[in-house]
Amino acid sequence: MDSPENVKTSTSIAAATTLPSDSVAAPDSTIFGYISNLSPIKPVKAAPVVPGFPSLNSPPIVFTSPHLNPLCETTYLKRSQCPQLSCEELCQQDISGNKFEIGSNELEKSKTQSSSTLIPCVERIPPECIDKYLADTVEVNCENSAHSANLSLIQSGDDMPQSIKDFTDSKLDDKNDIRQDAEILMGAFPATPELAGQDFQGKSSFNDEPVETDAKQGGSEMPSCECPKVESGLSVEQQCELSVVQHAGAVHEDELGCASQFLPESLQPSQGYEDCSETTGEASNKIADNIVLHDPKGQHYSGMHRRCLRFEEARGNIVENSPGSRGSSNVVTSSSLPANLGDMEVFESSSLEISATSSGRHLINLTQPIISVIPPRNSGNPRSSISKPSGIGLHLNTIVNAKPMSCGASGSMQSAEKGYLNVQDGKLVSNMDCHQPESTKNSSILSNVREKLPVSSEDCSHEAQVSVATSYLPSQSLQIVKSSTDIAPLKQIMPDNTLISLLGSICLLKFSRKKASATNDGDGCKRCNCKKTKCLKLYCDCFAAGIYCAEPCACQGCFNRPEYEDTVLDTRKQIEFRNPLAFAPKIVQGLTDSSANSIGEDGNYSTPSSERHKRGCNCKKSMCVKKYCECYQANVGCSSGCRCEGCKNVYGKKEEYGMTKDVLSEGPVNERFESTFDELEMAASRDGLLQTELCNLDNLIPPTPSFQFSDHGNCAPKSRFSTRRCLPSPESNLTLPKSLETFDNNHDLLLKARKDIQGIDYYCQELDFSNAETVNELSPRYDGLSNICDLSTLPNPPSTAMAYLASSKISDWTTISRAQLCARSGHLSSVSSFHWRGSPITPVAQFGGTKLLGAVESDKKHHDVPEDDTPEILKDTSTPLKAVKVTSPNKKRVSPPHRRLHELGSSSSAGLRSGRKFILCGLCLLSHLYAMH
DNA sequence: GAGTTTGAAACT
DNA sequence: CAGTTTCAAACTC
């Protein structure tokens, strides 16, 4: 069970296991070190038992199933031990400034909880910091910074470019400050030079400057006090390596610009964190706090702190403190803990906060969708996406419904990067792996997210529970993009790489966020009641979701527990062998659905058209209006892939889906898009990889690396997390939906187009920041990203975005898609993969983490899977191993992608050509992983 | 809480 | 691939 003891044990184990890696990694600022840290890759089962499927150790598992993100692997999530505790309560407490208990036990618990349940429990924060922080977000601070490692990042005002300094100085006046954040960020940048791999001001690196990971150092240096909002969270006791960054948020454009400028480039693979705060443009949306603590050593999770912020409260704080400033800065300190998912969250409130801290794992973890993210309906944030019912559990659910927190999006991002940045040797190093127990990591991440999320108490219960991390990323990115102004400065200041990486990280964050919000019962915990399957079959929602069963579960003879990690992993492996997509998210983005995205005429909900159940349902009697129906349960409409009879799915009827499709195809303008759907589908069926890549763009968040593959079957139609659509892969020659071009004049159509475009939104964002600002609106459901893409809103559609959207040229897609897609997938590195088209430097997302990883994994599966992996436990139940069946997208079983390796090579090569660090890192990582296998 | 219904997962 | 069985969630009472 997830009793605290277990958790502890697991954590301790994890720590122990991780130690070696840490030792290696820690010193290593290099990519390898970073990579090595990744638990999934570790040859040894180091993976902390705690977090979910252990497995995560094994890359294959992670990668293999689309469902699982690499992160996920490591993080097979454990459920919160304290499901009972409502998020709300926690949040309230946090908010109230109640002290957090740091007890190791509690910490672990909290970690566990957070990770598993995603329920936002109060994060533990060093008492000092916490108290102050909570009490007064504004004040948080610098003082505390002493404790917080993060601050160390800030240290360097010295390092900061003069302009920046000036900037900061000029704005010191603001108390609210984002400025402070900016300062922090600036400090951070210097710290992260290597990561950025580029000079902040054209200089090669900041490396020279020592960045101190230690909170102490940071604290000392931080001028900080000036930046009230920024806090560094830090595990006091532990050395918190800084990993963070962030900028807080929302800043006015001016501020934003500055802030943005300061954004660390850390996006690079090595980098772990990035913080970018941006104001989405809404003052209301400021997010005040983000504290992310990472415990470098994992042993101490105390570093992690979570809080659930309420939007209102947060806003209030922010407003009070800095009426003018939109964004609050958030500083995330991460110890080695990857846990910054919380950071990742983006508040829908306008302010963005980006904390790059989260590592890929985190993302993955997030993916584990224990809870479906539900945006607070009452949050008062208009942007907030419509909350959906908790989703389906696991597989389905991993997906989280989170739709669009992003809409509101603002959020602070944490870099989704797998590693969080740590400052070592004066350098920021992102630690891919979390030495920490995965659970902890997860929890931390989640918690962070939670904290940042401005959520009403109500929301807390929902959102908090929901692992928001995944969902937020996009939004964050959106925000960033949105404020073109913000971006512009960034561009000026930031190297393309950095910027790109940043964006990528953002994307990752969002994804992770989505994942996080998987299933929850309302209490944030989904529980199973398995009696015969021992919770080792997909019947078990917990198992299917990649999480361990917990106390709330009423299962009998459960083996889905950390103590049976091996069994769980083996079983999982076996299942994946049989069906690589078994753990893939069931909900994937669909192309377009006319019915989607709006409340039905009849008052029915409609989900983003893009989301559809990957495999489709087969309902005969429930008419898809009951939870028996997976589509309905996931709050997605039925699609052509469904074999349901008498479909009355309020989220979208199968017939409607078909109609929509037809309509889109009919678009006068785009004949070339006519076959888009079919092509996508076919491509998907044909090539798992492509699909994966394409489809998974949206899915990146998805919990598992496999997640990206998940779409094999039907990438086109669905994506769990995001409303986004799958982008056609260049290879597939798929073209954009007709709708995009076709509907220029029709508002409704535009809406649809947006939806369609959502899949592309990243591109848009990435592509052209300058125009981002124009996009302000975010439909509640859609991620800000989509908005960015919104043609109507954009006076000057980003060239890239437009190009993508408008251009029928496949080449464009191909060019961009892959890299960007990869970026989305973000597994390996949100950062690394990020591709900014506009810049000459444009790093190409080389590895789409997804692909590469997936490839490796897939291969692995093919070769490594033992004939009989069936766990002893299950043997009696019979789980025959059979050759993997290849099936059409609609079929349950899908063949694993075969091209992965090939693609890897290509992608990697591309990356090399680009000369980007990311790429290199990615390659190294890949090679490393591959070698391991 | 027990029993029934339902459809996915597993199996043949 | 189709059909059947098993399973656990969803639902009903």
For A235-286, what is the HEC assignment?
CCCCCCCCCCCCECCCCCHHHHHHHHHHCCCCCCCCCCCCCCCEECCCCCCC
Looking at per-residue pLDDT, the higher value among A749 and A645 belongs to A645
Tokens, residue A575 = 């299942």
Q: How far is the CA of A555 from the C1' of B3 (A)?
A: 19
Nucleotide nearest to A538 (CA to C1'): B9
Q: Is the C-beta atom of A619 closer than 7 angstroms to strand B?
A: yes
Q: Is the C-beta atom of A533 closer than 7 angstroms to strand C?
A: yes
- The torsion defined by the Cα of A188, A190, A191 and A192, in degrees rounded to 10, comes to 90
Is residue A614 predicted with pLDDT exceeding 60?
Answer: yes
Return positions of chain C under 7 A from a protein CB.
1, 6-11
Q: How far apart are CA A790 and CA A440, in angstroms?
A: 38
Helix (H, G, I), strand (E, B) or coil at A342: helix
Selection from A294, A276, A331, A398 nearest residue A37 by Cα: A294
Residue A660 confidence (pLDDT): 55
For the segment 662-701 of chain A, residues whose CB is within 7 A of strand B:
none
Running DSSP on this structure, what letter comes out for residue A319?
H
Contacts of A611 (CB under 8 A, 6+ apart): A403, A587, A588, A589, A590, A596, A634, A635, A636, A637, A718, A719, A720, A722, A723
Q: How far is the CA of A372 from the C1' of B11 (A)?
A: 31
Residue A649 confidence (pLDDT): 85
A627: exposed, middle or buried (Cβ count in 10 Å: 0-12, 13-18, 19+): exposed
Q: How far apart are CA A21 and CA A40, in angstroms?
A: 11
Is residue A207 predicted with pLDDT exceeding 70?
Answer: no
Q: How far is the CA of A397 from the C1' of B5 (A)?
A: 22
Q: How far is the CA of A881 from the C1' of C9 (A)?
A: 26
Q: Which residue is nearest to nucleotide B8 (CA to C1')?
A: A539
Q: Is the C-beta atom of A529 closer than 7 angstroms to strand C?
A: yes
pLDDT band at A641 (very low <50, low <70, confident <90, very high): confident
Max avg pLDDT among A225-239, A443-457, A477-491, A613-627:
A613-627
Residue A85 confidence (pLDDT): 38
Please give the backbone phi and psi of residue A136, each rounded to the nearest 5 degrees, phi first. Answer: -140, 110
Q: How far is the CA of A133 from the C1' of C6 (A)?
A: 53
A841: exposed, middle or buried (Cβ count in 10 Å: 0-12, 13-18, 19+): middle
Helix (H, G, I), strand (E, B) or coil at A421: strand
Return positions of chain B under 7 A from a protein CB.
5-12
For the segment 376-415 of chain A, residues whose CB is within 7 A of strand C:
392-393
Helix (H, G, I), strand (E, B) or coil at A295: coil
Instruction: Please count the CA atoms within 13 angstroms of the CA of A637 that sit on its side-chain side.
Output: 35
Q: Is the C-beta atom of A544 closer than 7 angstroms to strand B?
A: yes
Q: Which residue is nearest to nucleotide B6 (CA to C1')?
A: A628
Is residue A570 predicted with pLDDT exceeding 60?
Answer: yes
Q: Is the C-beta atom of A839 closer than 7 angstroms to strand C?
A: no
Is residue A240 predicted with pLDDT exceeding 60?
Answer: no
Q: Contact at 8 Å (CB) between A311 and A459?
A: yes
Q: How far is the CA of A304 from the C1' of B10 (A)?
A: 41
Is residue A250 predicted with pLDDT exceeding 60?
Answer: no
Q: How far is the CA of A537 from the C1' of B9 (A)?
A: 8
Mean pLDDT, to the nearest integer, of A700-713? 34
Is residue A239 predicted with pLDDT exceeding 50?
Answer: no
For the segment 335-374 of chain A, residues whose CB is within 7 A of strand C:
none
Looking at per-residue pLDDT, the higher value among A631 and A169 belongs to A631
Bridge partners of residue A407, in order along the sequence = none
pLDDT band at A581 (very low <50, low <70, confident <90, very high): confident
Is residue A648 predicted with pLDDT exceeding 60?
Answer: yes
Q: How far is the CA of A363 from the C1' of B9 (A)?
A: 28
Mean pLDDT, to the nearest integer, of A287-312? 33
Is residue A552 predicted with pLDDT exceeding 60?
Answer: yes
Is residue A827 predicted with pLDDT exceeding 80?
Answer: no
pLDDT band at A872 (very low <50, low <70, confident <90, very high): low
Mean pLDDT of chain A: 42
Q: How far is the CA of A797 from the C1' of C7 (A)?
A: 52
Looking at per-residue pLDDT, the higher value among A429 and A166 belongs to A166
Bridge partners of residue A292, in order along the sequence = A332
Residue A346 confidence (pLDDT): 34
Please write the tens of the pLDDT for every residue from A160-192.
444 434 443 444 344 444 344 444 444 433 333
Mean pLDDT, to the nearest integer, of A564-587? 84
Q: How many helices (H) and strands (E) does chain A have?
A: 42, 10
Q: Contact at 8 Å (CB) between A744 and A668?
A: no
DSSP-based helix, strand, coil % in chain A, nearest 5 = 45, 5, 50
Residue A565 confidence (pLDDT): 87
For the segment 269-328 of chain A, residues whose CB is within 7 A of strand B:
none
Mean pLDDT, to the nearest integer, of A805-821? 33
Q: Is the C-beta atom of A624 closer than 7 angstroms to strand C?
A: no
Running DSSP on this structure, what letter comes out for residue A439?
H
Please write the tens of the pLDDT for every residue from A487-521.
444 444 444 444 444 443 343 333 333 333 333 44
End-to-end CA distance of chain A: 31
Is residue A595 predicted with pLDDT exceeding 60?
Answer: no
Please write the tens of the pLDDT for every residue from A92-124.
443 334 433 333 343 343 333 433 333 333 333
Is residue A637 predicted with pLDDT exceeding 50?
Answer: yes
Q: How far is the CA of A618 from the C1' of C3 (A)?
A: 15
Tokens, residue A44 = 């040894």
Q: Contact at 8 Å (CB) between A332 and A275?
A: yes
Residue A623 confidence (pLDDT): 87
Tokens, residue A384 = 């907030």
Tokens, residue A745 = 């004049």
Q: How far apart are CA A225 and CA A202, in angstroms?
A: 28
Mean pLDDT, to the nearest integer, of A580-593? 69
For the segment 632-651 of chain A, residues whose CB is within 7 A of strand C:
633
Q: Is the C-beta atom of A531 closer than 7 angstroms to strand C?
A: yes
Q: Contact at 8 Å (CB) between A570 and A864?
A: no
Q: Is the C-beta atom of A579 closer than 7 angstroms to strand B?
A: yes
Q: Is the C-beta atom of A575 closer than 7 angstroms to strand B?
A: yes
Q: How far is the CA of A546 from the C1' of B12 (A)?
A: 28
Q: Is the C-beta atom of A617 closer than 7 angstroms to strand B?
A: yes
Q: How far apart are CA A385 and CA A196, in angstroms?
A: 33
pLDDT band at A639 (very low <50, low <70, confident <90, very high): confident
Check residue A301 and give left, alpha or beta (phi > 0: left; psi -120 to 50: alpha). alpha
